[in-house]
Amino acid sequence: MIITEILARNSRVYRDKVALIERSPAENIRREITWYEFYASSNSFANALLNVGIKKGDRVVQLMTNCLEWLPIYFGILATGALAVPLNFRFESDKILLCTEVAEAKVFIFGEEFIERLFSIRTILESTVHTWVFVGEPKDCPSYAVPYHIFIQGESNINQSTSNSELSKIKINIEDDAALYFTSGTTGTPKAVLLTHRNLEHACYVENNHHRQNHDDVFLCIPPLYHTGAKMHWMGSFIVGGKAVILKGVKSEWILEAVSEEKATIVWLLVPWAHDILIAIESNKVLLADYNLDQWRLLHIGAQPVPPSLIKEWKEYFPHHEYDTNYGLTESTGPGCVHLGIENSHKIGAIGLPGFDWECRVVDGSGNDLPPGESGELLIRGPGVMKEYYKNPEATKKTIINGWLYTGDIARYDKDGFIWLVDRKKDVIICGGENIFPVEIEHFFMQHPKIQDIAVIGVPDERLGEITAGIISAKPGMTLTKAEITEFGYGLPRYKRLRKIIFADVPRNATGKIEKPKLRRLYAKDNRIEVDKLLK
């Protein structure tokens, strides 16, 4: 079923029940809409797009931070048969320009946070973008744009049926193109991933199959909606008409307040946020007794490798929580092609088994399947695999071969058939002929009681080719010395020990992934790097 049809069904079946809640703790604002209001707002926006000439197959850019309007706008775009193009809200002007030009977007929807970033590129985009829609306070709307509420004004009344003859004439097939999602760009220039309505539908079934959401579950959504991760996890609740809470802000106390006050049962966290909550508990910054958390049944984490030590510590405070980790890519319509499974807590550290309706392989450089214990590239196949890299046939040809998506991640099977993520193919460090996988070292050091975060990269070395460098940040209020790190590292095999130690913040993107290209630019320019000076 096309997801716009699922929304229409939810409007009929759960008409006056709350669908979405927005919490903005910094401004002390809480807003909500029912399933009928969600559907009606979506149709209002779709009708407004049709009135400015949007047709099936056109592209519409959505550059917004999380808010109550985000999902109704997204569904409104899909309802017209156009392609939704959500952009990373951390993109600077050059990336916004690049992505919009690749998409050849005709309408551009944006929030107030992006006015300055659009200033230098708007005129360049006028050759394709003919309508700018501003989501924010009307008084802040730039002269070239139309405020959102005025844009949809008169198209429908949300207290009445919003269907009209033009919208009902649009026939969307399950194999039609639905959306363009740009990769996060942590490994270079973002690529446009073309997803179909079949891909989006499959995400609903995968997520619900894995976590068994029902109508009474409440999903707390914190990660950015522009990314496939947060939205596709939400779709497991969406398909059963479950309530979702959109939280603006990631402070530990805000997360716990939202769980407590909205009676959230399912929370998906990024690794840094889970770390922050544990640190806040340990330091008595938050007191668990102040919150009603008994109904919270499931914690799941994705978007990056999860240190087993993190989950072990989490279980000490939340022993009743079910836990799952999910692996996925934008090219696989987000998470779920591999998942641990809530019944497999004895395998924490693995990313798990092939997800619902997915197949996996681990292969060598020639495409031959590898036996358990040997590391190779992870391949996946299933209904969630993207259609293509948009306007990039060469990249598509290299990535999808005989229906198998080559992920670029190094993994291995264990004797029980569970898949363990070893590292990104591009992040492997080759030191004196030995392959070193940074994630293994990062997981090891995350067991240190003073370390808050760590990233391991390779830096050039004349003799060995590359050596390991660790960028490390300490927990708040704690100090770390090079000697402490070195001593702790004796628990690793000699060739995996850190040769360079840098105390600095670890940069992560909006989905929690370490921005290793940025670290390489900073610390691995050449073999003349003088890391010891950075320690002083």
**b/e for 83-118, b at 16 or more Cβ within 10 A?**
bbbbbbbebebebbbbbbebbebbbbbbbeebbebb
Backbone angles phi, psi at 22, to 5 degrees: -110, 130
Closest among 1, 23, 7, 9 to 218, alpha carbons compared:
23
Fold designation for 1-11+28-193: Rossmann fold (3.40.50)
pLDDT of residue 535: 30
DSSP run (H or E) holding 4: helix 3-13
**Cα(45)–Cα(79) distance, integer angstroms:** 9
* Contact of 230 with 262, CB cutoff 8 Å: no
Beta-carbon contacts of residue 75 (< 8 Å; ≥ 6 apart): 3, 4, 7, 38, 42
Closest among 490, 343, 327, 300 to 421, alpha carbons compared:
327
Show the CA angle centred on residue 68, arms to residues 97 and 206, nearest 5°: 85
**Cα(372)–Cα(313) distance, integer angstroms:** 29
Angle formed by the axes of helices 197-211 and 228-238, to 10°? 70
Any idea of the CA torsion for 228, 247, 273, 474, to the nearest 10 degrees? 120
Cα 321 to Cα 18, 94, 496, distances in angstroms: 25, 43, 34
Per-residue pLDDT of the chain (536 residues; tens, 9 = 90+): 999 999 999 999 999 999 999 999 999 999 999 999 999 999 999 999 999 999 999 999 999 999 999 999 999 999 999 999 999 998 889 999 999 999 999 999 999 999 999 999 999 999 999 999 999 999 999 999 999 999 998 544 443 344 456 777 899 999 999 999 998 654 457 899 999 999 999 999 999 999 999 999 999 999 899 988 889 999 999 999 999 999 999 999 999 999 999 999 999 888 888 988 999 999 999 999 999 999 999 998 876 667 788 888 999 999 999 999 888 989 999 889 999 998 998 888 889 999 999 999 999 989 999 999 998 999 999 999 999 999 999 999 999 999 999 998 889 999 999 999 876 767 778 776 567 878 889 889 989 999 999 999 888 876 667 889 999 999 988 989 999 999 999 998 888 899 999 999 998 876 677 888 788 888 876 433 333 333 33
| Bridge partner list, 400 | 405
* Contact of 426 with 187, CB cutoff 8 Å: yes
Beta-carbon contacts of residue 530 (< 8 Å; ≥ 6 apart): none
DSSP letters for 214-270: -TT-EEEE-S-TTSHHHHHHHHHHHTTT-EEEEE----HHHHHHHHHHHT--EEEE-
DSSP letters for 277-292: HHHHHHTTSS-GGGS-
pLDDT of residue 16: 97
Structure tokens at 358: 């997915």
The domain segmentation of the chain, as residue ranges, is 1-11+28-193, 428-534
| Bridge partner list, 460 | 466
Closest among 201, 162, 164, 163 to 179, alpha carbons compared:
201
**Cα(18)–Cα(173) distance, integer angstroms:** 29
pLDDT of residue 72: 98
Amino acid at site 394: E
pLDDT of residue 534: 30
Q: Residues 294-331: pLDDT tens digits?
A: 999 999 887 666 778 888 899 999 999 999 988 898 99
pLDDT of residue 157: 44
Multiple choice CATH, 428-534, 3.30.300.30, 3.30.70.980, 2.60.40.3140, 3.40.50.1370: 3.30.300.30
Amino acid at site 205: Y
Instruction: Give the residue carrying structure tokens 């009344």.
Output: 157
Give the strand pairing for 192-196 and 177-182.
antiparallel
Q: How many CA atoms lie within 13 A of 74 on its CB side?
A: 24
Any idea of the CA torsion for 404, 407, 410, 415, to the nearest 10 degrees? -40
Any idea of the CA torsion for 439, 192, 353, 355, to the nearest 10 degrees? 150
